[in-house]
Amino acid sequence: MARIFEWLCRPEATLFIRTEDIGPGLFIQHGFSTIIAAKSIGSNCWINQQVTIGYSNETDAPVIGNNVRITAGAKVIGNVTVGDNVIIGANAVVVKDVPANCTVVGIPAYIVRRDGKKVLEQL
């Protein structure tokens, strides 16, 4: 019976991972419509659904640090470095380097928290 349903409703891949260097502890909460194509991803990272991490051209891809959380719908594009302990807010678009210990939100992304203190600064 399952084969009949598989023929009628063919499964579709929605999680694409094209990163060879991934540290231990990667957690993908929901893989729906998620693309991960980075130069490297550090340890203990958390990636939500509909996230795009990818190239801006044939050679420029992001480097994601340790303990980074990338929430739903966020985009990290191009030759950028995301530091350790960073939180990227929902639907944020990161196109510049993000220093360690920050929370970024918005389009384009800007820093709203650094080292546990509220701030408002451009990347």
The pLDDT value given to residue 28: 95
Strands of the sheet with 93-94, listed across from one edge:
15-17, 34-36, 52-54, 75-77, 93-94
The pLDDT value given to residue 1: 63
Of 7-16, 24-33, 40-49, 76-85, the range with the lowest mean pLDDT is: 7-16
pTM: 0.89
What domains can you pick out in the chain, each with its CATH number? 12-122 (2.160.10.10)
Query: What token pair was written down for 52?
Result: 């795009």
The CA-atom distances, in angstroms, between 83 and each of 1, 7, 60, 64 are: 49, 45, 17, 7
Using one digit for the tens of pLDDT, what is the confidence trace for 56-110?
Answer: 999 999 999 999 999 999 999 999 999 999 999 999 999 999 999 999 999 999 9
Query: At 31, is the pLDDT very low, low, confident or very high (cuts 50, 70, 90)?
Result: confident
The CA-atom distances, in angstroms, between 50 and each of 16, 73, 81, 100, 118 are: 11, 5, 20, 24, 27
Mean pLDDT estimate for the chain: 92
pLDDT at 13 over 90: no
The pLDDT value given to residue 23: 97
The pLDDT value given to residue 42: 98
Q: Phi and psi of 112, rounded to 5°?
A: -115, -15
> What is the mean predicted confidence (pLDDT) over 25-53?
95
Q: Which amino acid is at 8?
A: L
